[in-house]
Amino acid sequence: MTPAETTLLVVEDDRSNLESLERLLSKEDYKVLTAPDARVALEVLRKQRAHIVLTDLMMPGLSGIDLLKAIKTVSPETEVILMTAYGTVETAVEAMRAGAYDFVEKPLKRMQILKTVAKAMEKSSLVAENRTLREEISQLRKREIIGNSPALRQVLEVAAQAAPSVATVLILGESGTGKELLARYVHTKSQRAAGPFVGVNCAAIPESILEAELFGHERGAFTGAVAKREGRFAQAKGGTLFLDEIGELSASVQVKLLRVLQEGEYEPVGGRTQRADVRIVAATNRDLAAEVAAGRFREDLYYRLNVIAITAPPLRSRPGDVPLLVEHFVKVFGQRNNKGPFTVSPAAIEKLAHYAWPGNVRELENTLERAVVLSRSNVIDLADLPRQIVENERARSEIVVSIGTPLEEIERTVIRETLRATQGDKRLTAQLLGIATRTIYRKLAEERGASGEVTDDDDEPVA
Ligand SMILES: Nc1ncnc2c1ncn2[C@@H]1O[C@H](COP(=O)(O)OP(=O)(O)OP(=O)(O)O)[C@@H](O)[C@H]1O
Ligand SMILES: [Mg+2]
């Protein structure tokens, strides 16, 4: 930050003092605002943000300390410097406690004022820089794909393999499973990573304007088109265009999209043909093949989109990812809310891992955000979770397995879940599964040995 980028508000009831301060600071290139008292100062601040406020301590009406407290409430990042002729140690201490950056004594000395203001400016820009970095980290964290289940690892592998090609990628999966995250992942691993990633939610844009939104329009192309406008295809030039909720496209837009995929060309509404320079990644939570069978989605478009298909597995099919996701979200939300670090009680993890998560990772994320925000200790426990998750005693009688899950993993899952349903009765489990009891012991031992992961039945009584 330079002085020219720094807005300073000077508050002083003595007019000649105010004017000489204004002159002094303007000469140094600061952007200087002035106010004759605290009330006017607050009014000015309502309209415009100041990086630094330089205020007199003793003023008629609201004092400098009151002003300081008001500023720190509404704009904690504004640095406040107090000027006082009556500076006693107590007021200085009170001022610093209330969050003042510094105070200077009257009569004011030119050099001292400039030095203090320059230091406050430095702090202000450090604080701003720090905030930007924290936001960036939080953004990056949001892009991180957490999970170590075979189902997820396999999906990431396919995505990483597909990424460098120019092929269209279709991402399927239930709501909240991380389809958008996967789309970004494909983009970052592609040759176009340095280009833009532009997303369009086809379901959120009214059908009547979707075409113009995607392809752009010329000035006067239709009523209301007062200026020429770039579409998302143009914005995504050199990068990736993410068409989200593709299952919602109307028949007419489906035709136009098909043309782009076939010929690599499109027409802005009322304009001339353009070459498309985008990689398309599409996603839907609909069963697109069923939509084709029902005649709601063009078969030719389906095949064009479906060059490489990736299915994001539902969270209930990979309960092993739940503890990792829990740890991640609790950390992220703890930092974001300036709380924590948190731990999550084993009982809470257990409940979270057993819940069916119809809203998948998004639901888990929201559940933990709420728990972190409302928690009054640094331990997330059952009391911090919604009732339907804690009271979810219903033994699951079904297991969902993603296509391509290694048989060993399926076997382990079936054994684990049957054990759970029989409350750890290994003999009954063996009978149900048609295997010897000792096979169960062996499989469980293998599982521990193989992955070193803590299994849910570690504390089961031996039957
Ligand atoms: N494996 C994961 N690791 C970390 N965060 C995840 C993971 N999967 C999903 N999320 C988070 O869950 C939320 C939902 O993910 P995303 O928006 O990608 O899902 P989606 O499949 O596009 O959902 P919808 O169909 O509802 O649009 C996001 O906040 C995302 O960051
Ligand atoms: Mg989505």
Q: What is the pLDDT confidence band of residue 168, given thresholds at 50, 70 and 90?
A: very high
164's CB contacts (< 8 A; 6+ apart) are 189, 190, 191
Give the ligand 1 atom nearest the CA of 146.
3
**pTM above 0.75?**
no
Residue 185 Cα to ligand 2 middle (Å): 13
CA-nearest residue for atom 24, ligand 1, is 175
> Residue 272 is encoded by which pair of tokens?
């001339």
With residues binned 3-state (H G I as helix, E B as strand, rest as coil), the percentages for the chain, rounded to 5, are: 50, 15, 35
Residue 318 has pLDDT above 80, yes or no: yes
Count how many Cα atoms sit within 13 Å of the Cα of residue 4 in the half-sphere of its side chain: 0
CA-nearest residue for atom 10, ligand 1, is 178
The CA distances from residue 288 to 125, 167, 173, 257, 297, in Å, are 51, 18, 10, 16, 7
Question: pLDDT digit string (tens) for 26-82?
Answer: 999 999 999 999 999 999 998 888 999 999 988 888 888 899 999 988 888 899 999
Q: Which of 246-250, 285-289, 453-457 has the lowest mean pLDDT?
A: 453-457
CA-nearest residue for atom 29, ligand 1, is 362
> Residue 60 is encoded by which pair of tokens?
């008629």
CA-nearest residue for atom 25, ligand 1, is 175
Residue 351 Cα to ligand 1 middle (Å): 21
CA-nearest residue for atom 16, ligand 1, is 178
| pLDDT in the model for residue 388 | 85
Quick check: CB of 173 below 6 Å from ligand 1? yes
Question: pLDDT digit string (tens) for 208-232?
Answer: 889 999 999 888 877 777 788 899 9
CA-nearest residue for atom 5, ligand 1, is 145
Report the run of H or E that residue 232 belongs to, with start and end: helix 232-235
Q: Is 436 exposed, middle or buried (0-12, 13-18, 19+ CB in 10 A)?
A: exposed
Mean pLDDT of 336-353: 89
Mean pLDDT of 290-295: 94
CA-nearest residue for atom 30, ligand 1, is 178
From 362, 363, 368, 402, the mutation candidate for ligand 1 (largest count of ligand atoms within 8 A of CB) is 362
Q: What is the pLDDT confidence band of residue 105, given thresholds at 50, 70 and 90?
A: confident
Quick check: CB of 146 below 6 Å from ligand 1? yes
Mean pLDDT of 183-202: 94
Mean pLDDT of 184-204: 93
Quick check: CB of 181 below 6 Å from ligand 1? yes
Amino acid letter for position 283? A
Question: pLDDT digit string (tens) for 229-273?
Answer: 899 999 999 999 999 999 999 999 999 999 999 999 999 988 899
Domains and CATH numbers, the chain: 3-138 (3.40.50.2300), 150-313 (3.40.50.300), 316-390 (1.10.8.60), 407-451 (1.10.10.60)
Quick check: CB of 360 below 6 Å from ligand 1? no
| pLDDT in the model for residue 454 | 40
Residue 121 has pLDDT above 60, yes or no: yes
Q: What is the pLDDT confidence band of residue 397, given thresholds at 50, 70 and 90?
A: low
Which ligand places an atom closest to the C-alpha of 181? 1
CA-nearest residue for atom 15, ligand 1, is 178
Residue 244 Cα to ligand 2 middle (Å): 6
Residue 15 has pLDDT above 70, yes or no: yes
Q: Is 352 exposed, middle or buried (0-12, 13-18, 19+ CB in 10 A)?
A: buried
Question: pLDDT digit string (tens) for 398-432?
Answer: 677 777 788 888 888 888 888 877 767 788 788 88
From 177, 186, 369, 402, the mutation candidate for ligand 1 (largest count of ligand atoms within 8 A of CB) is 177
The residue with greater pLDDT, 310 or 459, is 310
> Residue 454 is encoded by which pair of tokens?
């803590």
**Averaged confidence pLDDT in the chain:** 88
Q: Is 231 exposed, middle or buried (0-12, 13-18, 19+ CB in 10 A)?
A: buried
Distance of CA 110 to the CA centre of its chain: 47
> Residue 230 is encoded by which pair of tokens?
């770039």
Q: What is the pLDDT confidence band of residue 201, given thresholds at 50, 70 and 90?
A: very high
Residue 243 Cα to ligand 2 middle (Å): 10
Q: Is residue 219 within 8 Å of 225, Cβ to Cβ?
A: yes
**Tell me, what DSSP letter sits at residue 104?**
E
